[in-house]
Structure formats: C-alpha cells, structure tokens
Amino acid sequence: MDHSPILDLTALAALVPDGAKLAVPTDQAGVAMAATRELIRRGVKHLYLVGIPISGLQADLLIGAGCVKTVETSAITLGEFGAAPRFVDAVRNGSVQLKDATCPAILAALQAAEKGLPFIPLRGIIGSDLLLHRDDWKVIENPFAAGDRVVALPAIQPDVALFHAPFADREGNVWIGRRRELVTMAHAAKQTLVTVEEIRDDNLLADEQLAAGVIPALYVTAVAEARQGAWPLGLWDYYGPDEPVLQSYVEAARTAAGFAGFLREWLAQLSRAAE
C-alpha cells in the first residue's frame, strides 16, 4: 500500500473540506496560490480563515469567490497596492464574520495550540477596544500576582495549515529556511498541506546544511509540486511578485463585476510557467 505524502495539486486541495479552519501565512512567507486556485475551482465553502498573523491577496480572492464565512486575523491588506477590496466590501455588507485581532494575539494563540494549551495569557491588549468586540477573550487576574490583569486568549488550532515552500523530499520533509512561523503553523494544525517548487530525491534531514530549516515529515500531511506556485505573489529569494498582475487585480476587484472577470481569467490559467 502506497503511503507516500506526495500528491498532485488537485488531490492536495481536496484535503481541505468545507467549513475547515484554514491557516494561511502572510504574502511574504510563502502563499500557496496554485492550491488556492484549486480550492476556488472546486467551490469550497464556509471556510474559517486565519491569517498568520495577516493575509492579503489569497484571503481577498477566497472572500470574493464566496469561500469564506469567518476571518480571524490582525489585517488583510495588499500592502503598497492598497486595501483588499473584496474583504472591505464583505465586512461592510456583513457577508463575512470578522474576528479582529493583533499580530501578537494571533501568534500567541497559535503557539498555545502548538504547545497543547487551551489558552495563553497576553498583556498588550488591555486598554484596547478589541476587548469590546471579542467576547471569547477574557481578562483574568494573574494567579501569581494580585491585581495584575492579563488577557486569556483561546488557542487557535487550525484544521489545516496551507503554505508554499521552495522544496521538499519524497518523504515529506519540507525546507522552509528561516520562516519559523511556518513551523508554528505546522505544529499547531491538525493537518499541514504544502506546495513546493520542487520535489527532491535526497532526504533533506540527512543534509547538515539544510536540516535546521526543515519541517520534518511528522508534521506534514501532504506535499504537491507546483512550479511558480506562489504566483502572482513572490517566493522569498526565488522570484518576486508579479506587480502588473497585482495592479490589475486591485483595479478590477474594486467592483463585484470586475472581480468576477478577473477570477474567470485567473481560474482559466494553469500557472505562470505554462504561459
């Protein structure tokens, strides 16, 4: 019986069920855009999307395509290209539930799940109006110091962590270099799905120079090869973002009709490498 973690892209995306709590990284940390395209093609619904600790184009596309029910993040932004138009519209019209947070809160709650904790304390939120809108965050007293208040954050345990990395081996070990937030995602999530630029034959953990930057296969559910799999976003030092495409997205997505047109064209593409 074949227990290989290596799947094709469609099979990997099929492992994200409707209603999943899906954790995704920032636009600079390795976004699985090819897999996102497969999710939208399939018509995945009711996702609980968690930006670790923020998200951008990936979230905006999923929201605009009607795939998302709830968003928990500290921001969704397209950076120098401006606001994320489909996210902004969805919040205004109430089509998605927004659970606003801060970057430290998102990362701390993810670390709680990584450590098997039901919650984790954090100080910096006290005094913020976020506490008026997050009834799942509780102000408690430090049991070791009377009068010292902290905020208890419930752990964020994703059903699925999804990201893109430069390469993996056939055992399912994935090289992520210094992107340590991806390690935290993989530790915290019930399943970790990774797309990569390349599948290598040699065991990455056997290479002393690579091993420190590897997520062991123990924490990886499945891997799929997807060349240029972060496009039109960039991947670290491998390739940069496709700025003309990102600019055209921002202009198109200002309206629902413009977004629908962009989405039709984007879904019809196989990958940048196939152009």
pLDDT at 2: 58
pLDDT digits (tens, 9 = 90+) for 85-126: 999 999 999 999 999 999 999 999 999 999 999 999 999 899
Q: Is the pLDDT of residue 273 over 50?
A: no
How many beta carbons lie within 10 A of that of residue 123, not counting itself?
12
Average pLDDT over residues 217-240: 96
| Amino acid identity, position 1 | M
pLDDT at 269: 76
Percentage of the chain surpassing pLDDT 90? 93
d(CA 71, CA 30): 19
- C-alpha separations of 206 from 6, 39, 202, 220 in Å: 19, 34, 8, 17
Domains of the chain, first to last: 17-103+158-268 (3.40.1080.10), 119-154 (no CATH)
Task: Decide if 263 contacts 57 (C-beta within 8 A).
Answer: no
pLDDT digits (tens, 9 = 90+) for 175-222: 999 999 999 999 999 999 999 999 999 999 999 999 999 999 999 999
Average pLDDT over residues 77-89: 95
pLDDT at 1: 43
pLDDT at 268: 87
pLDDT at 272: 43
d(CA 67, CA 13): 14
What does pTM read for this prediction?
A: 0.94
pLDDT at 124: 87
Q: What is the mean pLDDT of the chain?
A: 94
Q: Is the pLDDT of residue 18 over 90?
A: yes
Q: What are 21's two structure tokens?
A: 């709590």
